[in-house]
Structure 1
Amino acid sequence: MTPTPRLLSDPAAADRLPIALFGTSADPPTHGHRALLEGLLQLYPRVATWASDNPLKQHKAPLELRMALLGALVEAIGDPRLSLEQSLSSPWTMETLARARQRWPQCQPVFVIGSDLAAQVPRWRGAAQWLPGCRLAIAPRQGWLLQEEELRRLRQLGAGIEILRLQIPATASSGVRAAPAPEQVPAELHPLLRRHDPYGLLSPGCASPSPSSMP
């Protein structure tokens, strides 16, 4: 059962249109990223995404390439309500939310994470300060079941939680990096990867699948 979101500390927030904020390493973007972005467009009137530079991760590709790949995916989806907003990128969520509120003062930010991050959020910088004024949307990922204790801890910190009923393919950037699998990466990204491919996805030993074989 989807938990009922808590009331936010700002009463006027209920009158503002929500904007889904989804930062991702995009290292590289996969069909899972595409499914999540398209799913968010079914749930929210506007979606903003960006390539993040997570201080807790070691990235395979430089930020500039990951940003370009994510931008190519946004362009391929082709919905004017979805935009690449790289200026939101920050190692700290509280800064991202502050930038989003400044960028769209008429909107209510909805910060989107995967279920694999639910246990980590309470340890993020300033979580007790920014969670009470934030709608936190959690997208279930296969292999990462949400635990009631994780949700309880988030609610204790003031988070208004929305569990998204989306079907996301079992693809992960980490898996693609570990074992190159071009079929897991949207075909629209292949032209860029042919010029810059730190993942070895389109090397001779890892040929790109034909369009007919794409899921």
Structure 2
Amino acid sequence: MTARPVAKRGQVIGLLGGSFDPPHAGHVHISKAALKRFGLDRLWWLVSPGNPLKENGPAPLADRMQVARAMMDHPRVTVTDIEAQLGTRYTAQTLMALRRRYPGVRFVWIMGADNLAQFHRWQDWRWIMETVPIGVLARPGDRIAARMSKAAKVYARARIPGRAAHTLRRAQAPAWAFVNLPMSDQSSTAIRKRGEW
């Protein structure tokens, strides 16, 4: 377990959750893009103990944390295992716990377009959407599926245009922005399939 990340009242913190199994350059790329495009003060990598939507468990948390810290070297990005400390399993639970522990801090959930495409399968996904702004970063091949997803359709009126994505930091939920970027096509799944993890 590591020390809990520090946040000051009034800061806007982006939360990039995932198993990071393994962490890769694509995670670094979207983290830097999220800081810039969504006007975040800081960003936390929430390295999860496990993903409820995946059948097989990830590599040991300590291994993933070690590689993530070595890879993500940025003064405004913190790699944390706070979900393991909190004992939360689902994103909604984590958000509830963080909002209690960090009063006055604004959180923005960051996800890839691939996650938006199946966001409606997440536990309490509507509560998440209506509680924190969401920044979506396009990955190759996921743009159309994400834009046609159930979540995108249900919350179409809450969408902020990509050119105004920097306003997401102060938007009241429900609010989400979809940003197209020249993306890295790396994926943790592909890395595992090649036996490189």
Q: TM-score range by the shorter chain?
A: 0.7 to 0.9
Residue 34 of structure 1: how far off its partner (Å): 1.1
CA distance in 2, matches of 1:174, 1:130: 26
Q: Distance in 2 between matches of 1:72 and 1:103?
A: 27
Identify the residue that residue 33 of structure 1 maps to in structure 2: 27
Per the alignment, residue 116 of structure 2 pairs with: 118
Give the SS at the match of 2:117: coil
Distance 2:129 2:20 in 1: 24
Normalising to structure 1: TM-score of the pair?
0.68
In structure 2, the CA distance between the partners of 1:103 and 1:68, relative to structure 1 (3 Å rule), is farther
Residue matched to 1:20: 14
**Where does residue 45 of structure 2 map in the other structure?**
49
Larger Rg: 1
Shift of residue 88, structure 1, vs aligned partner: 3.4
Do residues 167 (structure 1) and 182 (structure 2) align?
yes
Match of 1:140 among 138, 141, 145: 138
Deviation of 1:139 after TM superposition, in Å, equals 1.0
Supply the distance in 1 between the matched residues of 2:180 and 2:103 (Cα, whole angstroms). 27
**Aligned-pair CA distance for 1:101:** 1.4
Q: Please point out which of 76, 79, 84 is paired with 1:84.
A: 79
Q: Does the CA contact (< 8 Å) of 2:112 and 2:136 recur in 1?
A: yes
- Structure 1 residues 169, 133: closer, same or farther in 2, change over 3 A? same
* 1:27 and 1:59 in contact (8 A); partners too: no
TM-score w.r.t. structure 2 length?
A: 0.73
Give how far 1:156 is off.
7.8
Q: Which of the numbers 165, 176, 185 marks the counterpart of 2:191? A: 176
Can you give the 5+ residue segments of structure 1 that lack an aligned partner in the other structure? 1-14, 182-198, 200-215
**8 Å CA contact retained: 1:26, 1:69:** no
Shift of 1:40: 2.2
Q: Deviations over 1:8-49 (max 9, x none)?
A: xxxxxxx94421000121111111011112222323111111
Identify unmatched segments of 5+ residues in structure 2.
1-8, 159-172
- How far apart are the structure 1 equivalents of 2:77 and 2:44? 6
Identity of aligned residues (%): 25
Q: Which amino acid aligns with 2:99?
A: R
Amino acid corresponding to residue 87 of structure 1 in structure 2: I
What is the distance in 2 between the residues matched to 1:93 and 1:149?
19
Q: 2:59 aligns with which of 41, 47, 61?
A: 61
